[in-house]
Amino acid sequence: MKSRRAKVLHEVCGVAMLEHVLQTAETLSPSRLAVVVGRDADEVQKRYADRAEFVLQAEQRGTGHAARVALAALPELSGDVLILYGDTPLLRPETIERMCAAKRERAADLLLLSAHAPTIPGILVRDAEGRLERIVESQDATPRELAIPERNTGVYLVSAKLLREGVESLAPHNAQGELYLTDVVGHAVRHGFRVETMLVEDAEECLGVNTRRELAAASRVLRRRIVERLMDEGVTFVDPDAVYIDAAVRIGRDSVIEPGVVITGRSRLGEGCHIKAGCVIEDSRIGNDVTIGPSAHLRPGNELASKVKVGNFVELKNSKLGEGTKAAHLGYIGDADVGAHVNFSCGAIVVNYDGYKKTRSTIGDHAFVGCNANLVSPVEIAPHAFIAAGSTITKSVPTDALAIARDRQRNIDGWVARKEGRAPARAPRPDAGAEAREMATVVQAEIAPATGRRRRRRPPPGRRR
């Protein structure tokens, strides 16, 4: 993998490979669950210490040696032992359940999972009556044996008694002293144990991951499974091959997912949602009938109630949005508790970071945040408050209040001409006090609707009644 990270901790659709394998094993409710670790043992054990027992394989001497080390650490183990691989994340729980049923029905001492997969090196060679005779590695096989499609996946369900006997009989295969688990199968055949095979229906389940290319291949397979499962549950994908949905994501029925959408982590989407093209949703919870996008970004920690609308180029982070709230375009809401039916106009920003720490703001129900307004956290905007466009709000705003925090416009006559070194155009001399009257008109227009009555206008400076 050429990585500083342990191989089994590389993720397939947002979940570590070992996590996929553990989840599959846990569906059987095993009495013991042991993970054999070698390199990067501390990293793996730290993450899964509460999920399994760990056995250290100090020397990496092959799969047979790993099984021998595990059995030595579990001396009282009895019954059947299921052997899985931490870098084979696509095996379905249903396949394991079928293996258990097949072993019981056939009274087998060892059941081997096989696949029609020519890329797997272990070739299953059978006798004239179809019984498994031996397993031959590709490099040692004859041309006739290489033509055999059935291969050994390395997944075994075997009695603990046979496994102990088999691993103790293993001998090294090379100068490195490696012991191969496949030799346990040969031992069982030679000593008269009942060995059976079960052909996996989908060979992709047994895809192992040793390289970045194989990691990408496994991710493609699992992404397809995820999308197919969601479609079976009532979710529409406009282009099923053009979305990236993590394994732990859940989406309610009648939702529509457009191309280019990425939904990661443990995100939860309710019913009837519409996620438009180019959206990224990370570890967020979304209610019913929510519309997001196109090209919106929900960073981790968001909770959106039903009928929320988040439009294009809006970013949310660790925020709560109440029912019916809208942030239709071009804004940022970070670390905020937003009530119901709030309107965030274009360019509105919750300024949650002061360069040292992040703080939260609260916006009450039915508040209106005008275009290009900045809410500098921590600040509280009460219900039904109105923030005028272009305002930078640093103090709390009470209920039903209009908050205006912006400089009065000032026109500097002739500034451009002087900058360009030319004579300024002659403009008509403005009426004295026109600027003051204009400001009074603006204030009256913004305040009067909220109060329901007209305010008496003061005479401009320099005028007397």
Q: Which residue has the tokens 């009530």?
A: 339
| Structural domains of the chain, with CATH | 7-206 (3.90.550.10), 212-360 (2.160.10.10), 431-465 (no CATH)
At 290, list the tokens. 């929510």
- Residues 6+ positions from 113 with CB-CB distance below 8 Å: 95, 99, 153, 155, 156, 157, 197, 198, 200, 206
Phi, psi of 23 (to 5 degrees): -60, -40
Q: State the first-to-last Cα distance of the chain, in angstroms, to the nearest integer.
A: 86
Q: Is the pLDDT of residue 261 over 90?
A: yes
The dihedral region occupied by 248, where left means phi > 0, alpha psi between -120 and 50, and beta the remainder, is alpha
What would you measure as the largest C-alpha separation in the chain, in angstroms? 119
Spot the catalytic one: 329, 341, 366, 384. Answer: 329
Q: Is the pLDDT of residue 464 over 50?
A: no
Contact, 64 vs 170, CB < 8 A?
A: yes
Distance, CA of 187 to chain centre: 45
* 98 membership: H or E segment, kind and range: helix 93-106
| Residue 137 pLDDT | 85
DSSP string, 345-390: -TT-EEE-B-SS-B--EEE-TT-EE-TT-EEESS-EE-TT-EEPTT
Q: Does the pTM exceed 0.85?
A: yes
Q: What is the pLDDT of residues 364-413, one digit of tens each?
A: 999 999 999 999 999 999 999 999 999 999 999 999 999 999 988 899 99
pLDDT tens-place string over residues 305-347: 999 999 999 999 999 999 999 999 999 999 999 999 999 999 9
Determine the average pLDDT of the residues in 202-212. 96
Active site residue 187: no
User: Does residue 456 carry a pLDDT above 60?
Assistant: no
